[in-house]
Chains A and B, each alone.
Chain A
Amino acid sequence: MVDKSILLDNKKFTVGIFDDSDKLLHAVNTLKEKGVKIFDCYTPFPVHHLDHALGYHRTNLTIGAFLCGLLGCLSGFTLAYYMNVVDWPMIIGGKPQDISVFTSFIPVMFELTILFTAFGMVIMFFARTRMIHGIKEDLLSRRQTDDHMVLAIDNDQDQSLSNKDILELLKKEGAIEVNDSKEAFNTSLTSEEELTKILKINKTSTKKTKKK
């Protein structure tokens, strides 16, 4: 639930920005070993093993998905059984219209299982991740959805290392940029001039990586 509270709290963060997922992962592991509490990481793509390294547990959304599916299946059966058996049986050619036609309810039960699972799970995902249309994003780097990976440490939390040591460590781990009091912002706050500057940086940094 932490994801969307950064902006509201006006918190300050110590951040290290990486341009390589392996370096980020290594930095997370090193910091964890030294007992530093990491707030979260922000990456443009899913970095494998990062959630493990940060000590996150696998989400329980799957259980919710199963329950939604079960509900869908039962709804499908109830719908078909009530309409075609209880309320108004359509007797065609003298054939029975009772539970023995159960097999022809299966397609509808199946489709509703899928429908309920998909929608239920996605809605739960949005709720759990605090995502809704129109919400303001909280970014620590303008390029965290492009090519930068941000490692964020909450300044309000007590750490086993001093702030200076953490910054040193982040640099040693290969952070291309460190900052000890970064506030979250959202894109609508960035002026156009600033943006062109960022996009220019973007171009030069690409050239650098190509040279490597």
Chain B
Amino acid sequence: MYTADIRQPLVTGGKTYSDVTKDVCRPIENKPTPSWWLGFSIAVVLLLVLAGTLAWTVWEGIGTWNVNKSVMWGWDITNFVFWVGIGHAGTLISAILLLFRQKWRMAINRSAEAMTIFAVFCAAIFPLFHMGRVWLGYWPLPLPNAFGSLWVNFNSPLLWDVFAISTYLSVSLVFWYLGLIPDIATVRDRATTKARKFWYGFFAMGWNGSAKSWGRYEVVALILAGISTPLVLSVHTIVSMDFATSVIPGWHTTIFPPYFVAGAIFSGFGMVLTLLLIARHVMNYQDYITTEHLEAMTKVILLTGSIVGLAYITEFVIAAYSGYEYEQYAFANRMFGPYAWAYWTMMFCNLVAPQVFWSKWARTTPWFIFIISIIVNIGMWFERFVIIVTSLHRDFLPSSWVMYHATWVEVGIFLGTFGLFFTCFFMFAKFLPVINMAEVKTIIKDKE
């Protein structure tokens, strides 16, 4: 295949195959570094906050949250959509970029997929506990029951969401595990301790890298990528339908599915960048996650950020054009009402801030990308907050108008999910190969 001379190598530093193995296995085979312990401890503290606030919610009841009959969805569903959205970049990187044969995905797909799984864990907490009686959390499942054979309602987008999220989580797990098998085998064959030999041997399932297995493996990976691509689009489409199929002004919009999918990719890439910039620095993976990778990801951020920005403006124009008073009011209230600060934060973080990536300097300077990635994360949280809370807090009946502010319990749960997310991620970085060794070895001589 022809590659232009200006293309940069995908892996720098003249690495050999065994260098890749050694570099990637280093954290697994050695004691954790002090920075790992520091990060892990902070994450565990936050995880305890999660456990505490959730326990309090269950003990005392859902009244510990400030959601009420006007704003029945508050921080909980905001956080749910926020975390699900973050999860999407993992599938996007490993599935859609595989179908498009983008080789730069190979150094980052493993950690992005891990991020997907942990983010979906975090997301699942919110609707589950929002039910109030979490021990009845199995009710949305289509199970035979003693309530006069009253089944779940298949006309409801909330039920579609149950199917979508659980399918997404399980398929992502399978995809991730399948990708891990050859690398787990590599760790197994280098293992020096009995425990490592046993556990990695157990999970490697006897993998020996025969040409026949690889042939099948590649076909399976391709098909999984092929079905994960519509899956990831469907999941966020269905999440957007939780809103779009309602009759609430501000939610009742046909633009929601593509707009939510673009937003999910946007926020997911923001989070991937945040994580990878830290991992790359702490674990010394600059030769694998090069500035070329960062540049490619910032380009995706620029594109999806602009799509999201376009969607904000389109929504507004359509509301103004609709001639429908309530829709017009919902949008005017977003921009100039009591939550205007949230709206303009969202506009700045998602539409304005990513535009700096038109500059090559901005796309290739890690510390600067890190700042923008944090801004993107904040902006995308505010997007969900704006959509949910500003649409609800002033509905058709002015007597029901309220202001909604989160309680310490809601804030604690949100911070706590970061604890869960990062605890999982630190464990992953310690016990599993963060970079897909087998795939990176195939591109060691390739250019971007």
Footprint of B on A, CB under 8 Å? 2-4, 19, 40-48, 50-51, 54, 56, 58-59, 61-62, 65, 69, 79-80, 83-84, 87-88, 90, 92, 101, 104-105, 107-108, 110-112, 114-115, 117-119, 121-122, 125-126, 128-139, 142-147, 187-188, 192, 195-196, 199, 202, 205-206, 209-210
Contact = CB atoms under 8 A, between A and B. Distances in A.
Nearest to A128: B216
Contact of A50 (B149, B170, B202, B211): B211
B207 A195 contact: no
B152 interface: yes
B205 A56 contact: no
B219 A58 contact: yes
- Interface of chain B: mostly helix, strand, loop or mixed: helix
A100 B159 CA distance: 19
A105 B163 CA distance: 11
A108 B160 contact: yes
Given A3-B210, A119-B174, A187 B205 contact: no
Interface string B221-262: 001100110110010001001000000000000000000000
B209 interface: yes
Contact of A105 (B152, B154, B170, B191): B154
B164 interface: yes
Contacts of B217: 46, 125, 129
B336 interface: no
Nearest to A80: B154
Given A84-B155, A121-B224, A134-B202, 4 more contacts: A59-B216, A90-B153, A129-B212, A135-B206
Interface stretch (B70-78, B114-122, B180-188): B180-188
B365 interface: no
Contacts of A80: 154
B256 to A, nearest CB: 15
Interface in B250-295: none
Contacts of A135: 205-206
Given A107-B238, A115-B171, A188 B215 contact: no
Contacts of A105: 154
Contact of B227 (A47, A88, A117, A131): A117
Given A44-B17, A56-B215, A88-B149, A130 B206 contact: yes
12 contacts: A40-B210, A43-B209, A46-B438, A56-B211, A79-B142, A84-B155, A115-B167, A117-B227, A129-B212, A187-B201, A188-B201, A206-B19
A108 B159 CA distance: 9
Contacts of B18: 143, 146-147, 202, 205-206
B207 A133 contact: no
Contact of A44 (B213, B215, B438): B438
B153 A138 contact: no
A56 B212 contact: yes
A128 B215 CA distance: 12
Contact of A83 (B21, B151, B167, B185): B151
Nearest to B29: A199
B357 interface: no
Contacts of A42: 208-211
A118 B224 contact: yes
A112 B163 contact: yes
A133 B205 contact: yes
Nearest to A207: B16
B190 interface: yes
Contacts of A132: 205-206
A111 B167 contact: yes
B154 A84 contact: yes
Contacts of B186: 44, 145-146
Contacts of B223: 61-62, 65, 117, 121
Contacts of A107: 157, 160, 163-164, 234, 238, 241
A115 B235 CA distance: 13
Contact of A210 (B14, B142, B204): B14
A87 B151 CA distance: 9
A81 B171 CA distance: 25
Contacts of A115: 167, 170-171
A108 B241 CA distance: 13
Of A83, A122, A129, A209, which is in contact with the most chain B CB atoms at under 10 Å from its CB? Answer: A129
B218 A111 contact: no
